[in-house]
Chains A and B, each alone.
Chain A
Amino acid sequence: MTQNKKTFSLKGMHCASCVTVIEGALNKVDGVSMATVNIATEKATVTYDPEKVTDQMLCSAVSGAGYKALISEELKSEDEEQKEKLKELHDLRFRVTISLVLGLLILWGGFPGLMNTAPSILQNFWVQLVLATPVQFWAGFGFYRATISALRHRTANMDTLVAIGTSVAYFYSAVVTIFPAIVESIGVEPMPYFDVSTIIIALILLGRYFEAKAKAGTSEAIKKLLGLQAKTARVIRGDKEVDIPMNEVVIGDIIRVRPGEKIPVDGVIVQGESSIDESMITGESMPTDKAPGDTVVGATMNKTGTFTFRATKIGGETMLAQIIKMVQEAQGSKAPIQRLADLVSSYFVPVVLMLAIFTFVIWYVFGPDPSLLYALLNMVAVLIIACPCAMGLATPTAIMVGTGKGAEHGILIKDAASLETAHKINTIIFDKTGTLTKGEPEVTDVIPFGSIGENELLKLAGSIEKGSEHSLAEAIVKDTEKKKLALLEVSQFKAIPGYGVEGMIDGKRIVFGNKRLMDKEAIQIDMAASKIEEMESAGKTVMMIGSEKKLIGIIAVADIIKDSAKDGLEALKKLGVEVVMITGDNKRTANAIGNRLGIARVLAEVLPDQKEAEVRKIQAEGKVVAMVGDGINDAPALAAADVGIAMGSGTDVAIEAADITLVNKDLRSVAAAVTLSKKTMRTIRLNLFWAFGYNIILIPVAMGALYPFFQILLNPIFASVAMATSSVSVVANSLLLKRKKII
């Protein structure tokens, strides 16, 4: 009998007794073999026979007990939210259309120069009042509502400015229409400005409509990532293969994936081979060949073969979920460059209100006749032109697009501050093993001295290295396995970081490691000096094995340089970044690899715990340093660097310490991350320059600063055009980042 497992949220729980009640109700359902309820998470987990039990039955059992089961609620609510948003956008478009049509009619009948061509009915002030009223109080209702609720908190925002500005124009015009004699008696021609109030509302709503549409584009990356998730998994349960929803997959499930199918969760291949396209996660375009024992990542695409794999990570633990979490966190973080905009925006609206009052007073007292009209119109222009939204949107929209674009290329940025610092990087330190090289070294030479044979030497080295976690040790052990050499028993094993290892084999003390270890042990290596020099000059790492204070052999291991290393380093040099290589290898080996890669500055013989100090030394030279590494021992250096970059399949510790994680192993991504940072910062600067410059220049113009010199005043209608386009242009500029090439 197939058993399914389902977890769902519950509503209406108060105490521990609810647990018993709900569990009892669910267990009574025919076909349910087990039901457990967790009060802390307010969730129920039910194991049941899918042929007997439906979602509906579980729902009614829970509701029968007086609670509510939210089995498919989460999906539904997201859909509903989407629908609600669309409805809001539709509603906004309707308001824009109506207010634009009515506003344009009023403008036709009321604007000097145009009004002569308009039918006489549109020139009638009472008709204009009737047309303007729904725009003011129906289309512009949102401005009033937001103003009132903000005033209750003694705060003000852009809506406050629009509400006050348009109300001044509307009510002045209403007075002119209803009591023309009063206005005339104070020496002002009774001329209404309904065109100003309506067109301003129409244009600002239009700007808001475009802004809402554009803003949706800034968070597209998350939606795309969420869309990668597979919907079902083909799980082998007993001798049957069943398609089950993703949330029912449990760790340890054996899942079959056929050609052209998405891999549902993370896991390890158990049987079969295939080529897998991981570009959606890593940004690497070449498919990767996978065989039993290899890991597979959920949401990637199986290309050719059929295979089965064991699920190792599900739900929030999968790589895709982690990536989504990281991108979401980065998009919510604050860039240091935003601080000034934060400070300004907290005072902005009250200051604009004060400037508007000041403008009114100055124009009323010192302005030409009719001074009341000049004072009113200029005050309205000041209130309308001020745009705090552009400042608020300048940085976050660019950060959202930038981090999203990074994720598409396998570049995960921890937060906005890291992205901001990355554009200043002028030195990048690469850890050699696993970063510049593949980190899969192979034994190239085995040279015994004295009576010992080649295989015997390798056997000794393999035996003592078996307990070590070093990548070079792994190469030696692998070679012994390949040659089918039986390893020996080792006692008193000890790893000496930065030197090598030691232990007892057959009662003899064996030491195995670098020259420093031989020096420490006072073992003479003169007889092998020329051989060692020759191999190290070829970029090989030479390890020596000693016994009873004598050198008994040397073993050389070489790591393969990554294909992308040359291009990646070249791209960095083009960006003006100095490249440094750091390694525990001796100087000769390190320099040989450095030469091959065109790296001038090589820091060799650096012990793992000295890497951090080396980073600080370079920082002390006044450099902004990024460190690229992948191992546990790189974590302190990654944390010490201005920007820590964890590479590819790096350890969790390295990723935790890093500011940027590169999901792929392609070294060109390092330059791409720097380029992305530079381009994002350029966009932010341009946005801020525009947002600040706009307000700094146009507010004085609206106040009438140009009038004494050039008789130029800003019509409030043009002020609303400028204001509506300013925030849209900032969002549009951020969206342009999507089209920029970074790799």
Chain B
Amino acid sequence: MTLDNIIVIIAGIVGIVFVYWFFLLKKEKIIEVSDIKGKDGFSHIDITVEGGYTPEAIAIPLGEKTVLDFTRTDPSSCLEEVVLGDFNVRRELPLHKKVSIEITPKTKGTFIYSCGMNMYHGKIIVE
């Protein structure tokens, strides 16, 4: 085996391990909904839609109405829609326009939401 072959094999293994670590072993920062209520009397969470959802994971209380304020700043067509399948919500997210989605979780658990094509994911943790 030539030297360049050995280098390519080692680089390949490092590349695969890096991809695995970078994409599949990332830790999410969970943002808890604050107790401060908005003018409408409900808790609000701002979610920025750019290359995914920021914050990626949010924790909200069981049985309380919470408003998720999505603002899409990423023109990628993948992110045009947001789908909260467990809450029966599919909404278009016009660019740079706040779209408020109200949810009242009825069961505890972790619920994944995604873009219309199921490529980008966010997490709602109901506690």
Residues of A within 8 A of B (CB): 13, 39-42, 77, 81, 84, 88, 142, 145-146, 148-159, 208, 212, 328-334, 338, 341-342, 345-347, 349-350, 353-354, 357-358, 360-361, 364-365, 388-389, 391-393, 396, 415-416
Q: A384 to chain B: closest CB distance in Å?
A: 16
Q: Are A81 and B94 in contact (CB under 8 A)?
A: yes
Collect the chain B residues with CB atoms within 8 Å of residue A77's CB. Answer: 97
Q: A354 to chain B: closest CB distance in Å?
A: 5
Q: B10 to chain A: closest CB distance in Å?
A: 10
Q: Are A391 and B19 in contact (CB under 8 A)?
A: no
Collect the chain B residues with CB atoms within 8 Å of residue A341's CB. Answer: 118
Complex Cα–Cα for A342 and B111 (A): 12
Per-position contact with A for B89-127: 1 when CB-CB < 8 Å, else 0? Answer: 111101101000000000000001010111111000000
The listed residue (B24, B75, B77) touching A350 by CB distance below 8 A is: B24
**Which of the four size classes fits the interface of chain B?**
35 or more
Q: Are B5 and A152 in contact (CB under 8 A)?
A: no
Complex Cα–Cα for A382 and B124 (A): 33
Q: A42-B39, A330-B88, A350-B24 are in contact. List 10 more A-B contacts (CB 8 A).
A: A84-B94, A155-B23, A331-B90, A332-B89, A333-B88, A357-B16, A364-B8, A391-B118, A392-B118, A392-B119
Q: Closest 8 CB pairs between A and B? A: A149-B51, A334-B85, A332-B90, A392-B118, A361-B12, A153-B52, A350-B23, A392-B117
Q: List 24 A-B contacts (CB under 8 A).
A: A40-B40, A77-B97, A81-B92, A142-B75, A145-B74, A145-B75, A146-B76, A151-B51, A153-B56, A156-B23, A158-B78, A159-B78, A328-B90, A332-B89, A334-B85, A334-B86, A345-B118, A346-B121, A354-B19, A358-B12, A361-B9, A392-B119, A396-B118, A415-B88
Q: Which one of A154, A333, A350 has the highest number of Cβ atoms from chain B below 10 Å of its Cβ? A: A154
Collect the chain A residues with CB atoms within 8 Å of residue B56's CB. Answer: 153
Complex Cα–Cα for A155 and B50 (A): 11
Collect the chain A residues with CB atoms within 8 Å of residue B89's CB. Answer: 329, 332
Q: Are B39 and A40 in contact (CB under 8 A)?
A: yes
Collect the chain B residues with CB atoms within 8 Å of residue A13's CB. Answer: 39
Collect the chain A residues with CB atoms within 8 Å of residue B45's CB. Answer: none
Complex Cα–Cα for A353 and B5 (A): 20
Complex Cα–Cα for A39 and B15 (A): 56
The listed residue (B51, B75, B95) touching A155 by CB distance below 8 A is: B51
Q: A371 to chain B: closest CB distance in Å?
A: 9
Q: Which residue of B lies closest to A338 (CB)?
A: B85
Q: A338 to chain B: closest CB distance in Å?
A: 8
Q: A158-B78, A350-B20 are in contact. Are A152 and B8 (CB under 8 A)?
A: no
Complex Cα–Cα for A142 and B76 (A): 7
Q: A39-B39, A328-B90, A333-B88 are in contact. Are A153 and B51 (CB under 8 A)?
A: yes
